[in-house]
Amino acid sequence: MPRLEVPERLLLGPGPSPVSERVRQAMAQPLLGHMDPAFLAIVDRVQEQLRLVFGTSNPLTFPVSGTGSAGMEMSLVTLIEPGDVVVVVQQGVFGQRLADAAARLGAEVVPIAIPFGGICSIKTLTETLDQHPQVRLVAVVKAETSTGVLQPLDGWAEVVHDRGALLLVDTVTALGGLPVHADAMGFDVSFSGTQKCLAAPPGLAPMTVGTRALERIQAREHQAPSWYFDLSAISQYLGKSRAYHHTAPISMIYALAEALNMILDEGLENVWTRHRQVAESLWAGLEAMGLEMMVPREHRLPTVATVRIPDGVDDKRVRQRLLDQYQIEIAGGLGPWAGKILRIGVMGQGAKISHMMTLLNALREVLHAEGFAVPSGLTALEETYQKAGQR
């Protein structure tokens, strides 16, 4: 049989993001047993590094074995009991996914439906909670990958905690690229994924669990309905007892460890600044080409740009041309925005000005081939990037 051969792509979609050679080399390190003290020392270090990136002192901060959706599943399975009232902000596909998963666990889901591209105000949250005094959990996406919206969460924890509820936050497209500040913001549980701003392959879901959530877990009336996602059981492997639960994905832990090393070597605030500067430069370049951003600037997510497809241009053909002719991957829209937008990732190792220059050049040529002539956006991109570096 022939050896596996994989083409080289520039991954500028909403995930996965590019993975550095350092991280790929880390995955090639020799396997260890998941109970080997040398491996457990790596797990401990990864936990400590994740605390820094999450902005938390929570002892129970660790990578779930599974993609970001596994982090969502573990969070909900652990916190929800049948009949619990759960308020879910639905402002995009991933908010809708939270609601679907909660309903499957027997929760009474109270949706806060927000049009695509919009945010949920704290006033709307407060009014909803006042109408549902029995609420046990509020779930929200901080960085909605399907719309490119950054949801403000200032003051949310206070409002939620005043009602005796917990705050669950999806930070899949935020962690490592944006400040999360889980403790300062009062998040009770937060989960993420490795394939976005952390710049590791998909397969792990970093998660952090606070004191309020642990107290809720200990007071459960019913056993968690999932064996694999039972947080109480997994915490025994992570704690002093090191009780066996499942075989950890060893090589993926290596990859995450090296990706976190790279982030902390660069400096966490420097990484956040890089993402913001490259994103603002991309926005300027796209707008100089005459393309319309879908989200108002004040709520625009730096890690995923959503751009309206010009009338008469087929988004699938644009993306296929970029892939076939330029080896660049971007994504189309989901839900009501399917066929109407392009989604461009500015995440991890993809958040580099050189990559955005490559993309804008290729996108201009592809749009020309589609019969939609646009000017170059490179000057605007470069000027914005230079100004951002002088702040």
Q: What is the pLDDT of residues 297-327, one digit of tens each?
A: 999 999 999 999 999 999 999 999 999 999 9
Place of tokens 């004191």: 211
- Cα 114 to Cα 163: distance, rounded to the nearest angstrom: 22
Judge whether 343 and 305 are in contact, CB under 8 Å.
Answer: yes
Q: What angle do CA 98, 101, 105 make, to 5 degrees?
A: 135
State in Å, rounded, how far the first CA of the chain is from the last one.
Answer: 56
Judge whether 50 and 206 are in contact, CB under 8 Å.
Answer: yes
- Residue 237 has what pLDDT? 76
* 390 pLDDT higher than 80: no
The set of residues, in sequence order, having a beta carbon less than 8 Å from that of 219 and lying 6+ positions away, is none
**CATH top class, domain 20-264:** alpha beta
The set of residues, in sequence order, having a beta carbon less than 8 Å from that of 282 and lying 6+ positions away, is 305, 344, 346, 356, 359, 360, 381
- Cα 306 to Cα 288: distance, rounded to the nearest angstrom: 15
With H, G, I as helix, E, B as strand and everything else as coil, classify residue 274.
Answer: helix
Average pLDDT over residues 367-373: 93
Q: What is the pLDDT of residues 70-123, one digit of tens each?
A: 999 999 999 999 999 999 999 999 999 999 999 999 999 999 999 999 999 999
From the CA atom positions of the chain, what is the Rg in Å? Answer: 21
- Cα 151 to Cα 145: distance, rounded to the nearest angstrom: 11
Query: What are the E-state strand segments in the chain?
Result: 10-11, 60-65, 85-90, 108-113, 135-141, 143-144, 149-150, 166-170, 189-191, 204-209, 304-308, 328-329, 331-332, 341-345
Percent of the chain exceeding pLDDT 70 equals 99
Q: Do domains 20-264 and 267-389 have the same CATH topology?
A: no
Fold of the 267-389 domain: Aspartate Aminotransferase, domain 1 (3.90.1150)
- Residue 243 has what pLDDT? 77
- Residue 169 has what pLDDT? 98
- Residue 190 has what pLDDT? 98
Chain center to CA of 131: 30
* 181 pLDDT higher than 80: yes
* 238 pLDDT higher than 80: no
- Cα 339 to Cα 316: distance, rounded to the nearest angstrom: 8
The set of residues, in sequence order, having a beta carbon less than 8 Å from that of 250 and lying 6+ positions away, is 31, 32, 34, 39
10 — phi, psi (to 5°)? -95, 105
- Domain positions in the chain are 20-264, 267-389
Q: What is the per-residue burial (b if ≥16 Cβ within 10 Å, else e) of 170-188?
A: bbbbbbbbbebebeebbbb
- Cα 136 to Cα 80: distance, rounded to the nearest angstrom: 8
Q: What is the pLDDT of residues 140-175, one digit of tens each?
A: 999 999 999 999 999 999 999 999 999 999 999 999
Judge whether 337 and 306 are in contact, CB under 8 Å.
Answer: yes
